[in-house]
A and B are shown apart, each in its own frame.
Chain A
């Protein structure tokens, strides 16, 4: 059969496309129409795939003129790899078998350029059902294909980027990064969250983020407040103690950010948590150091003031007995003195010498107390009181003093200094008793209530014993309650008492040496109470 001839082409058209009952005029018009179509390559193949016809669309898409291509094989349009795979053959066979095949793929133009073709091959049959040829329609979808490819590429990029992002978040170890739904239920979990909070994803996803808050914060409604703040302001941050799975706490820095969809509807929250426990500890340490430094500073100032007091006592208090000794010794040389007068001057000289000795001893005790290089040991204050009472045997007998003490604590300290402290307090309590009234002295101990601590000890993270020494003596003006601890301050007239003015300064010094403090309360005639505070072991 000569498939190249015009008749056959017309027959093929008629039988497949138009149908057998059309007259010749319609055929002609139809063929003309096909040949003018520009957007589709439409041509006929014989059963072996030889090209029988060509239209404007075919010329435009594939670049061949009709004269160049008619009679050639349709395989010309396929790239080498498709030829190797026998794609052209497969497609024709499929069309032969199923009546039609649709395919999209790269095809080759005359100039070697490729285009993306959408191809439909339809088998044409004769009345007996034999395949007499094929109608091949090709549309150039290169632009669409490229756009699609670009779009796919972008989608792929997006997918990959999202994957990377999720992977990154999942693997971040220093931050707990989670998503919450609008009600605060946990939707995802990362490695950092597991490390910081101790839960694994299976345990915690679906639970409320309140699980991380301490019972106190939950009672105060903190989690809800934070979500509300994030919803209202877009973002809420907070620092505070949070709880891990095992119940231990950590110092968390939290930022909660509200997430919205394109309509502005709240879809949940992102929550980023950092464990700043180390930083918090460091800050607290610095704060403690600052407090400690301020305390040391105060100690130095006190020491300075003390040194001035020392210079004062040396120049003034010690000078006074010397001056008196000189005056009275001088007077002993006055002519015509009676024995009585002589004796009187001698007494004065001896009293001054005794006073001077007492002063010097006090100064020695005081400077010994100032020495900080003494080993601290555990001292049972009950033992201390017993030994002080034994030291005071004679004055206690002389004044018939009654001393009672409840159970006292053991503290860390310097035994002889603590002995000196209670010796001085009890000596004062006896010495400053009301004339004719038996001194009643009680020593009691209790844990110091926070509001009973003097301001010097407030704000330290330390429990204290509060030991009170109360007497029924002459007391002193409340306005003097701080002055009495100044070095060499005497409240009463010198001739009334044998004090050197150092006793209470020593008490204060010992208390401070033991990281404690001492305060006093009194009203004239109402007795006095001394409150000594020592750190509890």
Chain B
């Protein structure tokens, strides 16, 4: 069971929606968010429990998604956490770059709250080991605009 999520996104609506969806799935799920990469790194350094998956918005102030990904992957304590690049336009994200720099996959932000909830629900049902496999399956089903390289 994945039950500890982190989203770094400067869009308050998106972090609210993400949190609400997770609460509705299971209110025991831990959800934390940061408004940019800098805050994310600061929070992770002081957190007692590391998240099991991190979603990174690409377009953020201070430290954007790419810079945050690089910082995470350079840190011994954080590099094992799976990272999903999370942004509005799939077309403008270099999927190869995401994988090359250490992200598990790239996800376009959904257009419906229900879809977001369904997708997150599937993730919560997979084990840590199955997580990447699940993301790939979701990608294969094309239901959630996921791109896995």
Contacts and interface: CB of A to CB of B under 8 A. Distances in A.
Contact of A490 (B61, B88, B112): B61
Interface string B53-78: 00000010100000000000000000
Contact of B92 (A316, A326, A327): A316
Contacts of B12: 494-495
A327 B10 contact: no
Interface string B90-112: 01100000000000000001111
Given A324-B13, A327-B112, A330-B112, A492 B61 contact: yes
Contacts of A315: 89, 91-92
B47 interface: no
B92 A493 contact: no
19 contacts: A312-B92, A316-B87, A316-B88, A316-B89, A316-B92, A323-B88, A323-B111, A326-B112, A327-B17, A327-B113, A330-B111, A330-B112, A330-B113, A492-B61, A493-B10, A493-B35, A493-B36, A493-B61, A495-B12
Interface string A309-321: 0001001100110
Nearest to A317: B88
A327 B91 contact: no
Contacts of B92: 312, 315-316
A327 B110 CA distance: 8
Nearest to A331: B113
Nearest to B90: A315
A210 interface: no
B130 interface: no
A524 to B, nearest CB: 11
A491 interface: yes
Interface residues of A, number: 19
Given A315-B89, A330-B113, 7 more contacts: A315-B92, A316-B88, A323-B111, A492-B61, A493-B36, A493-B61, A495-B10
Contacts of A491: 61
Contact of B89 (A319, A348, A495): A319
B95 to A, nearest CB: 16
Interface residues of B, number: 20
Interface in B1-43: 10-13, 17, 35-36
Contacts of B91: 315
Contacts of A319: 88-89
Nearest to A491: B61
Contacts of B11: 320, 494-495
Contacts of A312: 92
Interface of A: 312, 315-316, 319-320, 323-324, 326-327, 330-331, 334, 348, 490-495
A336 to B, nearest CB: 13
A324 B87 CA distance: 13
The DSSP consensus for interface residues of chain A is helix
The DSSP consensus for interface residues of chain B is loop
B10 A323 contact: no
A331 B24 CA distance: 14
B109 A323 contact: yes
A326 B116 CA distance: 13
A480 B74 CA distance: 23
Given A492-B61, A495-B12, A327 B36 contact: no
A331 B13 CA distance: 13
B92 to A, nearest CB: 6
A324 B59 CA distance: 16
Nearest to A308: B92
Nearest to A495: B12
A326 B91 CA distance: 19
B62 to A, nearest CB: 8
A324 to B, nearest CB: 6
Q: 8 nearest interchain CB pairs?
A: A316-B89, A495-B12, A326-B111, A320-B88, A493-B10, A330-B112, A315-B89, A331-B113
B38 to A, nearest CB: 11
Nearest to B116: A327
Nearest to A330: B112
Nearest to A490: B61
Contacts of B87: 316
Most buried by B among A315, A316, A326, A495: A316
Most buried by A among B10, B11, B59: B59
Interface string B108-134: 011111100000000000000000000
A284 B17 CA distance: 64
Contacts of B89: 315-316, 319
A503 to B, nearest CB: 15
A310 to B, nearest CB: 12
B61 A316 contact: no
A330 B114 contact: yes
Contacts of B36: 493
A173 to B, nearest CB: 69
Contacts of A324: 13
Contacts of B10: 493-495
A330 B110 CA distance: 12
B59 to A, nearest CB: 7
Most buried by A among B87, B110, B111: B111
A494 B59 CA distance: 11
B66 to A, nearest CB: 14
A57 to B, nearest CB: 119
Contacts of B112: 326-327, 330
Contacts of A495: 10-12
